[in-house]
A and B are shown apart, each in its own frame.
Chain A
Amino acid sequence: MGERLPLVIYFLSMVNWAQVLFNSSVTGCIYLISAVGLTLTYGLSKFPNFAHAEFMTLGAYAGYFLADQLGLGFPSAFVAAFIASGILGALSYRGIFQPLAKRGASLIHLMVAAIGLGFVIRHFVGELWGWSPRSFKVTWSAFDIGIVRVSDLWLWLIFAALAMAGLMHLLLTKTKIGKAIRGTSSNPELALASGVNINRVTLVTWLVGAALAGIAGLFRGAGTRLSPMLGWDILLPTFAVTILGGIGSFYGAIAAAFIIGLAENIGVVFLTSFGISTEYRMAIAFLILIITLILRPGGLARMFR
């Protein structure tokens, strides 16, 4: 190791850090859009929804169907992903999770039901569109801004994430339904006593959360490829973001998404400079997660209240 150190320092000095930061925000933005839905539905329904992965997958394929297979152009994919996943989320809640919860299902029951639902959707997508990967026929134009290489897809992604964060912030703080979501999340009995229609609030949250997952899936699909495993592949980091941010906390998730994105990308740089496979990038993200949880068991959420 001693001889390698100067080499490592040389290596690190050669890296375009502006690009690494930019890549981190690209990674972070996808995690953010997908984690918001997961964290909000957890806040209200109090169980980890593993089918969230497939909400992403379905959104990506719905977008692919409209944009590529029907040839309506890429912007139509956003509408399709948002609506298809949103409806799927709302239906899942109404048809599966709400009835289960009413019959006294525990956390484990709900979790297993969610895993089962995820399998059903994943295989449904696999049978409908095939198991081999597909790719959007759109070619993204890439260009340099200073020393950072960007593509219009990545800029759209960052714009979408910022817009989503802004809108969600306004929704949660300024509107009646948003206040009801926050109220129900922190104290359901009190919210109920204050006349909040908990069922409606929860349904809206599932709808919006799943719709956002669909958008995240679409971006992931457009940036890489479509496959029935698309959502499952990024569910783990999405959970990491949710937990690091403090489960149920929207603002915690924003910070956590960028921390995990940064950890993964800086991780790649360090791993490479030591000649280690970049497979371990997620391990670095999880290391940060574990350390944070030891120091702050509630995640980052407390810092944002």
Chain B
Amino acid sequence: MGKKLILLFVVFLLLLPVAVACPAAPVPGLPEEIKIGCVMSMTGALAAMGVNMRDAAKLAVSEINAAGGIAGKKVTLLVEDDATDPAASLLAIKKLVEVKGVKVIVGPMISGAVMASGPYVAERGVLLLSPSATSPKITEQPWTHWAFRTCPSDIFQGAAAAKIIIDKGFKKVAILVMDNPYGVGIETVAKEALKGKAEIVASIRYDEKKLDYLTELGIIKDKKPDAVLHVGYHDDGAIVYKQALGLGLDIIQWVAVEGVHGMPLDKFPEAGKFMAKAVVGTVPQTPEDLPAFKKFRDVYEKEFKKSTTVYCDSTYDATKLVALAIKEAGVYDGAKIRDALWKVGKKYSGASGTISFDEKGDRIAASYGIWKVELVAGKYHFKTIEFITLK
């Protein structure tokens, strides 16, 4: 017992300096180097998307620095990988906060990651600004004002997907979603929107890591729906479509959302074949004739020799907004930057359209593109066929 007490005492002594050091008051003025964290999927199910988004953030930072930084101070972007995984994401954020002393982070990418990190960042007074986490559940959390978003909540997207189904006159709908906050979020909203308009013949939640969905798809086939509403990411989506093609489910209409948009179809030829035949979907998208978007797209394509994909514009806007908020706050402190973000985030005209935050840090209003997949010259690619705006 005595030994244990001594040990405890030693541990306590060791921790003492940490405890004393922690609540250090924010230094007035800005540090010489202003750090902006960036947590995106460099690996994982959405790596294809994450790398493009990281480049958008890089572009924003290099533009800020070229224009003299924030009040003359240089901005550094610290990128960490979230592996499209909530646990990995929380670790990446902890590393940025504890080791690098970051107070504001662009990211993480997925809703599950924001849900996992929210309580931690709220406790540490660190601000998240996610360009792509769309689950409506984030809004309901007590820490929601620490997790801002430059992408619209899926309250809009679920409604947009349901609108496609209703507009096309489908009466029997099967819902197939990933069992995570993103999938279930859209499922809930879409079910509400479809109530009284269409019958839901099956509602299936699947494990996005299992990667074998024959029986789930078999059940959908047996229910003979007119349309399937599907929410997935790239990896699982590719297998859902490949196996759906095998089961002959390409004769019914599939309505998907932005999680499968931008899937690398040259890698998944069967998924491409299925999507070209059977899938339309929604994607938060800025009308392409918007001057700010055009300008961003041209610079991005010139800089990185590739096209922009979904959420590149909102990542770019998020990074620029963070810089504006730091400048407005005048100190490098999470809470102050957040309060400043509400100020600068009022009718901000960004590459992704006009951004205004509500009191929960969510974006007001959203515009969506409706996409389909086309086969042109032997290659599958995504094409937007019309735009809708929801408020």
Chain A residues in the interface with B (C-beta under 8 A): 14-16, 19-20, 23, 26-27, 131-135, 137, 139-140, 142, 144, 149, 151, 223-225, 227, 233, 264-265, 268-269, 272, 275-279, 281
**Shortest beta-carbon distance from B190 to chain A in Å:** 15
Q: Contact: A139 with B269, CB < 8 Å?
A: yes
Instruction: For the complex, give the distance between the alpha carbons of A268 and B215 in Å.
Output: 7
Verify if B222 is at the interface (C-beta below 8 Å from A): yes
Which residues from B are CB-within-8-Å of A265?
A: 214-215
**Shortest beta-carbon distance from A278 to chain B in Å:** 5
**25 contacting pairs across A/B (C-beta < 8 A):** A14-B222, A19-B221, A19-B222, A20-B218, A133-B238, A133-B267, A135-B238, A135-B269, A135-B271, A139-B273, A142-B248, A144-B248, A149-B221, A149-B247, A223-B212, A268-B216, A268-B219, A272-B202, A277-B179, A277-B207, A278-B205, A278-B207, A278-B215, A279-B206, A281-B210
Instruction: For the complex, give the distance between the alpha carbons of A132 and B41 in Å.
Output: 11
Contact residues of B between 32 and 59, Cβ < 8 Å to A: 43, 47-48
Verify if B270 is at the interface (C-beta below 8 Å from A): yes
Closest residue on chain B to residue A267 by CB atoms:
B215
Closest residue on chain A to residue B239 by CB atoms:
A224
Q: Contact: A19 with B218, CB < 8 Å?
A: yes
Which residues from B are CB-within-8-Å of A132?
A: 43, 47-48, 264, 267
**Shortest beta-carbon distance from A135 to chain B in Å:** 5
**Shortest beta-carbon distance from A147 to chain B in Å:** 10
Which residue in B211, B219, B245, B270 is a CB contact (below 8 Å) of A233?
B211
Instruction: For the complex, give the distance between the alpha carbons of A268 and B176 in Å.
Output: 13
**Shortest beta-carbon distance from A74 to chain B in Å:** 14
The B interface, classified by DSSP as helix, strand, loop or mixed, is: helix
Query: Of residues B179, B207, B218, which shows the largest number of chain A Cβ atoms within 10 Å of its Cβ?
Result: B218
Which residues from A are CB-within-8-Å of B204?
A: 272, 278
Q: Contact: A27 with B238, CB < 8 Å?
A: no
Chain B residues in the interface with A (C-beta under 8 A): 43, 47-48, 179, 202-207, 209-212, 214-216, 218-219, 221-223, 235, 238-239, 242-243, 245-248, 264, 267-271, 273
Q: Say yes or no: A139-B218 contact (C-beta < 8 A), given A131-B47, A272-B204, A278-B207.
A: no
Which residue in A15, A142, A225 is a CB contact (below 8 Å) of B222?
A15
**Shortest beta-carbon distance from A73 to chain B in Å:** 16
Instruction: For the complex, give the distance between the alpha carbons of A26 and B218 in Å.
Output: 13
**Shortest beta-carbon distance from A257 to chain B in Å:** 15
Query: Of residues B202, B209, B212, B242, which shows the largest number of chain A Cβ atoms within 10 Å of its Cβ?
Result: B212
Instruction: For the complex, give the distance between the alpha carbons of A281 and B213 in Å.
Output: 11
Q: Contact: B218 with A225, CB < 8 Å?
A: no
Which residue in A223, A225, A269 is a CB contact (below 8 Å) of B219?
A269
Q: Contact: A278 with B206, CB < 8 Å?
A: yes
